[in-house]
Amino acid sequence: MNHTIIALVEDKPGVLNRVALVFRRRAFNIESLTVGRTTEPGVSRMTIVLDSDQTSAERVIAYLYKLVNVLEIEDLGAGPAVARDLALVKVAVAGHDKAQLLRVVDETRAHIVDTGEQTMTLEITGEPPHVDAVIARLEPLGIIEMVRTGQVAMRRGDTALSAQYT
Amino acid sequence: MTDVIRTVHTAGMPTQRTGAQTIWECLVHEGVTTVFGYPGGAILPTYDAMLDYPIHHVLVRHEQGASHMADGYARASGQVGVAIATSGPGATNLVTGIATAQMDSVPMVCITGQVPSHLIGYDAFQETDITGITLPITKHSFLVTRVEDIMPAIKQAFFLAKSGRPGPVLVDITKDAQNATHQWEWDPQPVKMRGYRPAQSASRPELDKAIALIRSSRKPVILAGQGILQSGAMREVKLFAERVNCPVAMTLLGLGGFPASHPLNIGMMGMHGESWVNHAIQEADLLLAFGMRFDDRVTGTLKTYAPHAKKIHIDIDPSEINKNVRADAAIVADLRETLRELLELVPACDHASWLKYIGSMKGESAVRDIQTLPDNGHLYAPHVINDIWRLTGGKAIVATDVGQHQMWEAQYYHHEEPRSLITSGGLGTMGFGLPAAIGAKMARPDAEVWAIVGDGGFQMTQAELSTAAQEGVKVNVAIINNGYLGMVRQWQEFFYERRYAATPLRSPDFVKIAEAHGLLGLRVDKRPDVEGIVQRARETEGTVLIDFRVEQEDSVYPMVPQGAALDAMIRRPEPSALVETAADPI
């Protein structure tokens, strides 16, 4: 089962290493890990998707809390959340019906972001299952290359996660 | 030597300092008086500056000795121990000692020199990524490349090392940062770190849950761990145990946290714990875990561990809660503070029949105890250790190595005082005993300090005898010499059909080793000689080494085989079975 954890961490050298170590040592499988800036200077936000049960997720959170550079943790497994994933997919256009490809683009809200002689590159954004579904439809057409950002997520409603100095 | 530089105490008066000087200024401000280390290229500026500061440096013979000495110093005193080494091999040699301190939550700061910052990543001479190497075995670490970052890093290192759940912190400082100068003044503000909040207080609902569990319990047992020593909760534990009339079982690292002679102290639990203690835990209806972590060596298999017991777990480290054992009441807070709050709430209880029942199980064990068996002319390690306990009045600080002698020490040296047993519990580090004893003696020069070590472990760090001799430090080293790597031999006897692979051990003449260092070396192979020799060692100035030639194939009993249930113990055979002992000369 997938489990989503948000960690606000100090933007310092080696922090990613320390976080990764928690997963490596206990052999927890990371489904995806994204890191980016926040509005607060010096604070980065990680979205970690784990393939784990509730108990393992609790262990991970406990160990992450122990890291000095980890400021806040939120377990999104516990409530409604908005989640998005983004994929760039390069699909072959030669040798088959281009119209079929354009139909997929049309029906799935994908964007064409680049066109080559032999290929077309699509951007797909949405809930991870949506991205999965679009990729499944593109596969028979011949995927040449693909990259996914991994999931970013945020709790729904007015509560906000912040690392304000208290 | 130049004049001692006076440290700056006046706020608002920055003074020019090199990074190297800044390191020592900070150490002085942190209250450090002794450091253990070994010089080398990347830490040379710091050693040069050292001569101007009122800090005693102990030159070790191997950096592992420095980290173990800092560890022993910390455990004996409760203060942060400090080890210093150069880059590369100097730093990597610290690693075993750092891991030892991490596993046993010992407050320690290690300062290592690093190659100049522009050479990092270029495989420079004696460059190693020591913050990377020690990432999993430190509480935290810092790589400092700028002189102005030295003070914040050292201040934070000391704060992290001693607060919350203590642990080792490494500060790696590049040579250019040591050489650079800056305008420096001591920052007297307390350390604040955004992501680190060690001070937590007990939640009232959890306290109430705990009280309800205590009220309804008929067969409670307190599991007394090292947290008692670290939080200084000896008095509170005693008051609490007496109020609740609750038996107290000790972990290895908890020994000394509750007096051995106290009527409620039932003894050590676990793999080599007393059989009645393990039975009591298995039959208990409530376990009160005070600053302990349900290590596999104290639980046996978790599947059958204390099946009837509710658990109250008090620990300052939230990640320990529900790690090995699910807690019915979990209190994440300082133990002493928590017990003070609980003492306001907890009723006086009477568990006389439970205590009587536990007491009745002791009788069955006493007939097997080697101390009560008739003398057969052999010298047994438990006799030696029991005699040392008796002759030192139980008042010595004892540092041990790891193995059979360590377990016998725990069984037969009855510790009354906190910080009187210094032993590597979690990592189980052979070679720990001698350097830890030296560190302990430096921390508490007025205490009588013994190193009780095996012939195997002693040889791992025996070079530190030379350190003891150079420092003129007085420790008594008791080598429990059975000619084997005894604990491994015991496992081979029990679980590998007595196939003694690589456990027979030929040792040098330990008496001559002592003499080569200008120290007194003594040998004992008969029990009647133990008392005289121990007393002679105690009365002799300087470090004394005693080679106790003990029974070769004795085993530590009881023993819970690894992965077995806590009450499935291998017991010492009944007296009649103890005739197969060999008296082979070593």
pLDDT per residue over B503-519, tens digit each? 999 999 999 999 999 99
Shortest Cα distance, chain B CAs vs residue A85, angstroms: 28
Residue B576 has pLDDT above 70, yes or no: no
Neighbours of B472 (CB within 10 A): 9
Decide if A159 is inside a domain: no
How many structural domains compose chain A?
A: 2
Whether B91 and B168 have beta carbons less than 8 Å apart is answered as: no
Tokens of B118: 């522009």
Query: For an interface test with B, which of A68, A70, A166 has the most B Cβ atoms less than 10 Å from its Cβ?
Result: A68
Contacts of A63 in chain B (CB under 8 A): 319
Contacts of A25 in chain B (CB under 8 A): 136
CB-defined contacts A:B, below 8 A: 40
Question: Do residue A69 and residue A97 come from a single domain?
Answer: no
> Is position B493 annotated as part of the catalytic site?
no
User: A18, B319: Cβ pair inside 8 Å?
Assistant: no
> Of A14, A48, A79, which closes a domain?
A79
Decide if A132 is inside a domain: yes
> Is position B310 annotated as part of the catalytic site?
no
pLDDT tens-digit series, residues B234-262: 999 999 999 999 999 999 999 999 999 99
**Residue B377 binned pLDDT confidence (cut-offs 50, 70, 90):** confident
User: B323, A14: Cβ pair inside 8 Å?
Assistant: no
pTM for the whole structure: 0.94
> Of A50, A79, A108, which closes a domain?
A79
Decide if A92 is inside a domain: yes
Rounded to whole angstroms, the Cα distance separating B240 from B246 reads 8
Query: Is B146 near chain A, with CB under 8 Å?
Result: no
**Residue B2 binned pLDDT confidence (cut-offs 50, 70, 90):** very low
User: B140, A65: Cβ pair inside 8 Å?
Assistant: no
Is domain B15-184 annotated with CATH 3.40.50.2300? no
* Eight-class DSSP state of B286: E
The domain that holds A109 is classified in CATH as: 3.30.70.1150
Burial class (CB in 10 A: 0-12, 13-18, 19+), B281: buried
Chain B: residue whose CA lies nearest to A56: B323
Based on C-alpha coordinates, what's the Rg of chain B? 25
Integer CA distances (angstroms), B171 to B37, B56, B115, B280, in order: 14, 20, 13, 45
Question: Do residue A40 and residue A21 come from a single domain?
Answer: yes
Decide if A141 is inside a domain: yes
Whether B515 and B494 have beta carbons less than 8 Å apart is answered as: no
Question: Do residue A12 and residue A75 come from a single domain?
Answer: yes
Query: Is B332 near chain A, with CB under 8 Å?
Result: no
Decide if A164 is inside a domain: no
User: A163, B194: Cβ pair inside 8 Å?
Assistant: yes
Query: For an interface test with B, which of A18, A45, A64, A66 has the most B Cβ atoms less than 10 Å from its Cβ?
Result: A66
Query: Is B199 near chain A, with CB under 8 Å?
Result: no
pLDDT of residue B163: 96
Nearest neighbour of A71 by CB, restricted to B132, B143, B195: B195
> Is position B126 annotated as part of the catalytic site?
yes
User: B132, A17: Cβ pair inside 8 Å?
Assistant: yes
* Eight-class DSSP state of B217: -
Question: Do residue A126 and residue A67 come from a single domain?
Answer: no
Q: What share of chain B is helix, strand, coil (3-state, %, to 5)?
A: 40, 15, 45
pLDDT tens-digit series, residues B320-332: 999 999 999 999 9
pLDDT tens-digit series, residues A125-152: 999 999 999 999 999 989 999 999 999 9
CATH code for the part of the protein at B204-362:
3.40.50.1220
> Of A21, A54, A79, which closes a domain?
A79
Query: Is B135 near chain A, with CB under 8 Å?
Result: yes
Chain A: residue whose CA lies nearest to B161: A68
Are B15-184 and B204-362 the same fold in CATH? Answer: yes
**Residue A1 binned pLDDT confidence (cut-offs 50, 70, 90):** confident
Question: Do residue A39 and residue A106 come from a single domain?
Answer: no
**Residue B416 binned pLDDT confidence (cut-offs 50, 70, 90):** very high
- The third-level CATH classification (topology) of the domain covering B374-556 is Rossmann fold (3.40.50)
Whether B36 and B81 have beta carbons less than 8 Å apart is answered as: yes
Question: Do residue A7 and residue A72 come from a single domain?
Answer: yes
Domain boundaries, chain B: 15-184, 204-362, 374-556
Whether B461 and B486 have beta carbons less than 8 Å apart is answered as: no
Residue A21 has pLDDT above 50, yes or no: yes
Residue B219 has pLDDT above 60, yes or no: yes
- Residue-range definition of the domain harbouring residue A18: 2-79
Question: Do residue A88 and residue A75 come from a single domain?
Answer: no
Q: Cβ contacts of residue B121 below 8 Å, gap of 6+? A: none
User: A68, B196: Cβ pair inside 8 Å?
Assistant: yes
Tokens of B322: 């529900």
Decide if A157 is inside a domain: no
Share of chain B above pLDDT 70, in %: 96
**Residue B5 binned pLDDT confidence (cut-offs 50, 70, 90):** low
* Given B50, B269, B487, B569, the catalytic residue: B487
pLDDT of residue B13: 81
pLDDT tens-digit series, residues B186-199: 999 999 998 898 87
* Of A132-141, B93-102, B168-177, B371-380, the least confident: B371-380
Cβ within 8 Å of B, A 11-40 = 13-14, 17-18, 21, 25
Strands B15-18, B181-184: pairing is antiparallel
Question: Do residue A58 and residue A96 come from a single domain?
Answer: no
Residue B580 has pLDDT above 50, yes or no: no
Tokens of B4: 């001692």
Rounded to whole angstroms, the Cα distance separating B454 from B424 reads 14
pLDDT of residue B12: 67
Nearest neighbour of B135 by CB, restricted to A18, A58, A70: A18
User: A62, B195: Cβ pair inside 8 Å?
Assistant: no
Query: Is A41 near chain B, with CB under 8 Å?
Result: no
> Is position B432 annotated as part of the catalytic site?
no
3-state SS string over B44-112? Answer: HHHHHHHCCCCCEEEECCCHHHHHHHHHHHHHHHCCCEEEEECCCHHHHHCHHHHHHHHHCCCCEEEEE
Contacts of A17 in chain B (CB under 8 A): 132, 135
Rounded to whole angstroms, the Cα distance separating B373 from A155 reads 69
Query: Is A67 near chain B, with CB under 8 Å?
Result: yes
